[in-house]
Structure 1
């Protein structure tokens, strides 16, 4: 029997922490108690991770690829390190932040100041409003002081007319852990629920458009969440996104149960299901262990989480430890493999602590399995491979097991092996596994594999103020519709495709679409921050949700990563006409 290495002792957190020391101790104790006397569970070899390629979970959106204070201004981190991660969502401090996080000597990461970089990388962000305060627990003064701060922050966002990626305002952070402590010197502060209601209305008096998210609790608790949602319903102050944290050791094991419980609360109150954000995840002892990141990826994908952000325990602007001195750590490569996934997330069935997240891209004929969590010799069995031919090439790679202050220049290539597909399946033994490391299996046909990704599904892209929808007639089963908004940076509708091409040249971009208006529709096309041109979509006769139309346009792309935007509305674009749904783009 082998064991996971003992998690590293968390460093003493200086200055502002994201929860009080007593709460952190409680979380660690709770995580330990769940597994007996040690937070290090025992591991045994001989387990099998099963991947069912034919069972689709949902489109690839890289939900776990986000961070709390993950991006700073300037080159911290550089876009070149963000692009491969295909980032999803960040939580950043508000405009005018005074927060001094984790021993910092000056505030950082103002959401409006980093908005351009996050947009360029393909991401969205939430603004954490209480980080306008300089300390944690927050140094609340009075209602007049707080409401003045709210007016200043929300007005700053409204006036940022070129900023399109503010996905929500987070009214408070971890109220279950710090509201009483933060307001202890103000007898008139009232309860947290009263504060939520009053602040919600204060925000809506200035900004009626930007979503409001919450409650941002430090742990998931049924009674707290029920009280919060009941109050929000009764006061007409419901959040657009439900938010809580998963910060205990091994709390990835609780994600599905917490989601199920929250959905039952919504049902009991007669409320529609809203997106869920886990905007802080992983404990300080485990956040730097590559396999733990993989466990969270798998848990979030299965549970249908909308977005999740790695916790900010140490330095800001490092993708929460994925980078050190702007260069990759071991965990970076697990997230890079995850970022490489495209097409659909497919079913994985774990055994013991061996788990993973897998994708299948039919246009590339590629299966990408990112896994880890057990020691010794284990097996990955992949079913549903008939479409890849009689033989497949399987590339196995691994990360190192070092933490956040040790760089790893590239993943380790363990082997490249040809397997015969028997009854649609292969079984890949993986020997000498380390339970801390992450691993990747990249499965492709032995012949006929494209040299670079050519087709990009709209549902895999960054979708802003529009909807990912499903259709049996859409390529890969999904498309993006309701691309209807124009005229305001808070409601502009567009799809940003992050593409990676091998050479700088002119490419023909084929856009698959549907337009059931009966007349031409138009959208704006821009790439890499350049000017807009117009794409015209003639009407299609097959109706909405049936993207049978295609148009070709020329785009001049640089070698490497490029961001291509198709927009109904966008800054510096007057707005498109009519309506069109997007299925995919293809570059040739």
Structure 2
């Protein structure tokens, strides 16, 4: 059995093992567990860039005009969801009520006739809205949410109470389902949607529903807390799944698709290693779909999308998961479960691509081995290219770069087997083991032996937990443990808070291999509502204030990066409330962890191998050219497409180099390049036949938005395009991006200049909205007509009256008018604070010469609902635009 060379090979005998059998297939990859409850907020929030690569199947949203939340109307988010590949949307009908756990009109348990009559009035209105919408056949009704606790309390242990309550629920289920199916032909329903799976409840439900012809189209329940992963606990999914299927068989009911439409505790969300615990079980059982639970704020895909367009570590995990599409899953055997959090994995093989992919991790703070058996030489050849990558937790509101490549090499299996040692993220220093525990690792197998490999040269890194540092006048607090599963995830399960006294400080002793520049990344929380500060000193030298944006709460982590100079050997990094010379920092922040990374000073180039891209249409995978980079390349034929999820650290110009071979008349256009599903004028690949070099490069300089950018390559004619690689580098000599301060624009009506210390130039414009008369406009002159990116820097912290356990944030729209064109509406997500200035890029088309850009918020352009039963939200849109700081304008493509 061949083993990947590793420095820690001597640990192999004691390492845990995850065994993958490529010869035992377990069915077609389902890939439907990446949904989320209230994961979408508005048109473009989250962005299409972040939705399409995840290949979502379903999400769960509120019904039209539902009063439970101020945004996320199913019929409002339907268009962006379906155009990015979604299949169906669930709606919780009871979200028509404003207050969770829903107003009980009758005031008793179970829901009495007064209560149910009120509900049926609302249900009738929802069915009318949905059945007459363009999306009628793609909406699934969830009549009741968690009835074992809400309205019916069928989770009771009292037998008499249970029977009374279950009878009421079943009679109401029958009436609701019959109404839906009578008034919405072809409608589908889901239930009973209990918070906990109980065999008693679901057995009685199935019997009643079978006998009364009201079986659901999808069976659903929730798997919320981490104890749901414990085989000794009644809420264990694998046991629940088998028990439920047995209940169906005993009653002669054909298997009904299962949807676990709420899964994960707050400690699990955004953490790749924790999310994998659930997804691996769901994929093993081939559940129809699964969706992350909702604990804090809507419109973030369960926290995996940061701001509007930036991916967190959880997003990259679900991208790994989505990349298994089109394959067959294979048998994976994890170690025997002895703890709640444990090593898990998903694996699949794709014959047409000649690739196998494995996702492993979670639950282990120690090294582990992935043992891969039955590697077929007919598929992979005598040597196999093995690429090992990792993505780890980045906090709840920090973006993350693409997974870090740890190894890329060709190996010769022995007797059809390989052992791949997984040895962490190359992290040094003392920071506790949980960084690995929070990670997910991807292994990709492809045919080896041809082409060149990217050298793996990892920069030196180290991580240090705040609770393990020297803490002065602060409090170490624990969050996100199995016993505290509804608290947000925390690195090491602890942070340091209450750093409010002038003497408060956290001092880290760090050791680095060489002197030079290091990136210091501070993972913190700040719930003060405005930016806060701490004083940073290194080795007792000059002090500086570090500014922290506000976060949703002290448990939510985001990252602040600072470049510091360190000496070789031992150094001391201190973050404090005050300094005798600099003074006292503004407000406070909690500290979770610091990360250090040695900076090389060179330009970073990210490479995206074509054979790893997401493809559709007529595409073949080739592995036989010795000039190819990576394991292989693609041949795109007419109708084929390769899509790359390109990451940009910040808004700006990047050089995109497309390595390809395209036959045809020299210089002719053979492929078109698209950005975010829009063709880029002038960005094409040209034929380059013949010559000693098989692959050649076309370079294009494009303006990319911070976060995810969808870059597509499509053949322009019948000539095939052989695509090898896309390389992306931040442009070093790019043209200056034009900037217009909002306070320099022309203001009309109530629009007014305001002051804020963290706004660009110290000022911004507020009170734009409540009609087009209260607007902002400015003119720009451009030499060339074409497509431009207008980056809007804004702040928005509008919220609804509040919710028992979430923030009820509200997005604000802007109606954009360029010259005399019709207004186009874009939505700007809540920024957690009026002092956080975020950015969103808006595409505009300008003419040569002078262009007038006008911005306002006209409520008449928004989505409204009339005639809905009280309570509901008759107007779903904010009447104000966000506060506007500045605008950056740049052509999408420059020569």
TM-score, length basis structure 1: 0.67
Distance in 2, Cα, partners of 1:354 & 1:260: 21
SS at match of 2:372: strand
Moved over 3 A (4+): 187-190, 447-458, 497-508
The yes-or-no answer on 1:231 pairing with 2:208 is: yes
Where 1:279 maps in the other structure, the secondary structure is: strand
C-alpha separation in 2, matches of 1:146 and 1:172: 10
The match for 1:344 among 316, 328, 343 is: 328
Q: Relative to 1, partners in 2 of residues 1:53 and 1:455: Cα closer, same or farther, differing over 3 Å?
A: farther
> What does 1:39-50 correspond to in 2, within 5 Å?
46-50=15-19
Question: Per chain length, whose mean CA-contact separation is higher, i.e. which structure has more relative contact order (CA < 8 Å, sep 6+)?
Answer: 1
**Cross-structure match for 2:369:** 379
Could you tell me whether the CA contact under 8 Å between 1:61 and 1:88 is conserved in 2?
Answer: no
Q: 1:55-204, aligned counterparts within 5 Å?
A: 55-100=24-69, 107-123=70-86, 124-141=88-105, 142-162=115-135, 164-166=137-139, 168-180=140-152, 191-204=168-181
Q: 1:349-368 residue pairs with structure 2 within 5 A?
A: 349-352=333-336, 353-368=342-357
| Cα drift, residue 457 of structure 1 | 9.4
- 1:333 and 2:316 are equivalent in the alignment: yes
**Equivalent of 2:186 in 199, 203, 209:** 209
- Displacement of 1:410 in angstroms is 2.2
Q: What is the SS of the residue equivalent to 1:114? A: helix
SS at match of 2:399: coil
1:187-229 deviation per Cα after TM superposition (whole angstroms, max 9, x unaligned): 9998222211111122122113111110000010011111111
Which ranges in structure 1 are unaligned for 5 or more consecutive residues?
1-43, 101-106, 459-496, 509-527, 531-557, 563-588
Distance 1:161-1:448 versus aligned 2 partners, 3 A rule: farther
The verdict on how the C-alpha distance between 1:499 and 1:233 changes in structure 2, with shifts beyond 3 A counting, is farther
For 2:508, the equivalent position in structure 1 comes to none
Question: Equivalents in 2 of 1:89, 1:292: separation in Å?
Answer: 21
Write 1 or 2 for the structure with the bigger share of helix: 1
CA distance in 2, matches of 1:404, 1:250: 22
Q: What is the aligned counterpart of 1:289 among 264, 271, 279?
A: 271
Q: Distance in 1 between matches of 2:142 and 2:35?
A: 16
Quickly say closer, same or farther: Cα 1:529–1:176, change in 2 above 3 A.
farther
SS of residue in 1 equivalent to 2:642: strand
SS in structure 2 of the partner of residue 415 of structure 1: strand
**Match runs of 1:229-308 below 5 Å:** 229-253=206-230, 254-308=236-290
Q: Contact 1:97 / 1:132 at 8 angstroms: preserved in 2? A: yes
Q: Secondary structure at the match of 2:175?
A: helix
- Tell me the equivalent position of 1:560: 712
Distance verdict in 2 for CA 1:529–1:208, change over 3 Å: farther
Match of 1:517 in 2: none
C-alpha separation in 2, matches of 1:529 and 1:151: 40
Report if the CA contact (8 A) 1:68-1:280 is conserved.
yes
Deviations 1:432-468 (A, max 9, x none): 371121111111112569944697599xxxxxxxxxx
CA deviations over 1:22-48 (Å, ceiling 9, x no partner): xxxxxxxxxxxxxxxxxxxxxx96111
Equivalent of residue 424 in structure 2, options 413, 421, 432? 432
Describe the superposition over 1:382-432 as per-residue Cα deviations: whole angstroms up to 9, x where unpaired: 122222011112111112233312221222222212211112111111113
- 2:580 equivalent in structure 1: none
Q: Return the alpha-carbon distance in structure 1 between the equivalents of residues 671 and 331 of structure 2.
A: 35
Post-superposition offset of 1:69: 0.7
Does structure 1 conserve the Cα–Cα contact (< 8 Å) formed by 2:323 and 2:614?
A: no
Partner secondary structure for residue 129 of structure 2? helix
- Correspondence list, 1:364-513, <5 A: 364-373=353-362, 374-386=364-376, 387-432=379-424, 434-447=436-449, 451-452=610-611, 500-501=642-643
Flag the 1:499–1:371 CA change in 2: closer, same or farther, 3 A.
farther
Asked if structure 2 preserves the Cα contact closer than 8 Å seen for 1:83 and 1:561, the reply is no
Q: Between Structure 1 and Structure 2, how many residues are aligned?
A: 424
RMSD: 3.1
Q: Secondary structure at the match of 2:21?
A: strand
Q: Give a deviation string over 1:524-562, Cα, whole Å, max 9, x none.
A: xxxx899xxxxxxxxxxxxxxxxxxxxxxxxxxx95299
CA offset at residue 181 of structure 1? 7.2
After superposition, the Cα gap between the structure-2 partners of 1:320 and 1:214, relative to the gap in structure 1 and judged at 3 Å, is: same
Distance in 2, matches of 1:229 and 1:499, equals 45
Q: CA deviation at 1:507?
A: 8.2
2 CA distance for matches of 1:529 and 1:234? 53
Q: CA deviation at 1:111?
A: 0.7
- Which of the two has greater strand per residue? 2
User: Any residues of structure 2 matched to 1:515-526 within 5 Å, and which?
Assistant: none
After superposition, what is the alpha-carbon deviation per residue over 1:262-284, rounded to whole angstroms, capped at 9, x for unaligned? 11111111111110000000111
Q: Which runs of 5+ in 2 are unaligned?
A: 1-12, 106-114, 155-163, 231-235, 337-341, 426-435, 452-608, 619-638, 645-657, 663-668, 680-709, 715-895
1:247/1:283 contact within 8 Å kept: yes
